[in-house]
Amino acid sequence: MTFTDKSLVCRECGQEFLFTAGEQEFYQTKGLQNEPGRCPDCRQARKRARSYGGDSRVREMHPITCDQCGAESEVPFVPRLGRPTYCSDCYSSIRASGDNPG
C-alpha cells in the first residue's frame, strides 16, 4: 500500500500538522487504526504530563513517625491505625531482607 503525506488539524492547539507517509506506515505496522488527533508538540506535552503526574495529580503526603527507627517522615498514603508505617530507608531495608513490610 502506498501512503502520501496528509495535513491534519490538532484537536489540542488547532494548528495544522503533517501526518507523513512514514508515520502512516508505522501506524499500520503497529495495528493502529486512528490517525493522530494531536500534533507532535501536543503529543509530547501530553506524554510528559502523564509521565510526571501532571499538575492536577500532585501526590498529597502525610506525616508519620517510622515504626522501626522513630524518624519523622512522610508517606504518599493515609496511614491506618494498627498498621505499621516506615520511612523510605526502613521500608527499603525490610523489602531487601524479604520480610513483608506491612
Taking only the tens place, the pLDDT of each residue in 4-39 is 999 999 999 999 999 999 999 999 999 999 999 999
Please list, residue by residue across 56-76, b when 16 or more beta carbons sit within 10 angstroms of its beta carbon and e when fewer do.
eeeeeeeebebeeeeeebebe
Of 19, 102, 37, 27, nearest in space to 64 by CA: 102
CA torsion through residues 89, 92, 97, 102, sign: positive
pTM of this prediction? 0.48
